[in-house]
Structure 1
Amino acid sequence: MEQDWTAVGDALRARLDELGMTMTDLATKSGVSLTTVRELVHVLNTRRRQPRTLASLSAALGWPGEHLGSVLRGRPTSEPSGFGSLASVHSELQDLRQRVEALERAVRRTD
């Protein structure tokens, strides 16, 4: 079966840019090692990956779990209308919550 790792890297880079995430953010949010994220984004190592790796990355980026696997196999993916924007809002909300919690902890330490 033909696997298009370049398409996976392109999709990851585009989504990271769209969401304003770093590779470190993605690694943390997905539970996938930063080394693996870098390899996939930069198409450095196209060894076989566990399906759960791509599923975890997809979910962390607000996509359906099978999204990156479909990209890898060259199959079109379909997202419900507005899915991308809703995922972006959800991701931003989570980021804001984490920042507010960090600020609250910092304020408590200075009191």
Structure 2
Amino acid sequence: MARDWQAVADAINTRLAERGMTQRALAEASGVSVATLRKLQKAEPADRGKPVLMALSVALGWAPNYLQTLSDGAQAPSDSATALRDEVAALRADLSEVQQRLAKVEAAQRES
């Protein structure tokens, strides 16, 4: 079965950009060599074992089988845990902004 290395490359490159992560940081977090990572990012066809794809998936915050599923040509599994984390982070940022605005309003009221 032919692997869809372009889908894997696209997913890795997009996720690195989203997280502001470097190749070196991903290599260190996953235990995958920079050379192997570079080949995956270029969609170079090769036999990348399941452990490599699992390590990268986990290091990028996905379910362990995420990149393996993409390489199999199937639609990526729902990444609801990551989506939930992203939503919580956005809500926290919004809450922080509201708290800052409230503090300014309260400070202005005390001054008057």
Equivalent-residue separation in structure 2 for 1:75 and 1:32 (angstroms): 23
TM (norm. structure 1) is: 0.71
Equivalent-residue separation in structure 2 for 1:73 and 1:40 (angstroms): 14
| Alignment partner, residue 48 of structure 2 | 49
Q: What does 1:13-92 align with in structure 2 at a 5 Å threshold?
A: 13-44=13-44, 46-81=45-80, 83-84=82-83, 86=85
Equivalent-residue separation in structure 2 for 1:80 and 1:40 (angstroms): 21
Aligned partner of residue 74 in structure 2, secondary structure:
coil
Q: What amino acid does structure 2 have at the position aligned with 1:50?
A: G
Aligned-residue Cα RMSD (Å) equals 2.0
Q: What does 1:96-107 align with in structure 2 at a 5 Å threshold?
A: none
Note the C-alpha offset of 1:85: 5.3
Assess, with a 3 A threshold, how the Cα gap between structure 1 residues 70 and 80 changes in structure 2: closer, same or farther: closer
Assess, with a 3 A threshold, how the Cα gap between structure 1 residues 17 and 85 changes in structure 2: closer, same or farther: farther
Flag the structure with larger Rg: 2
Assess, with a 3 A threshold, how the Cα gap between structure 1 residues 80 and 68 changes in structure 2: closer, same or farther: closer
Q: What amino acid does structure 1 have at the position aligned with 2:32?
A: V
Aligned residue pairs total: 88
| Alignment partner, residue 95 of structure 2 | none
Note the C-alpha offset of 1:2: 2.4
Q: Percent identity?
A: 38
The answer to which of 58-67 and 75-84 deviates more is 75-84
Note the C-alpha offset of 1:42: 1.3
Q: Deviation digits for residues 57-89 of structure 1, max 9, x if unmatched?
A: 0000000010000000111122353524527x6
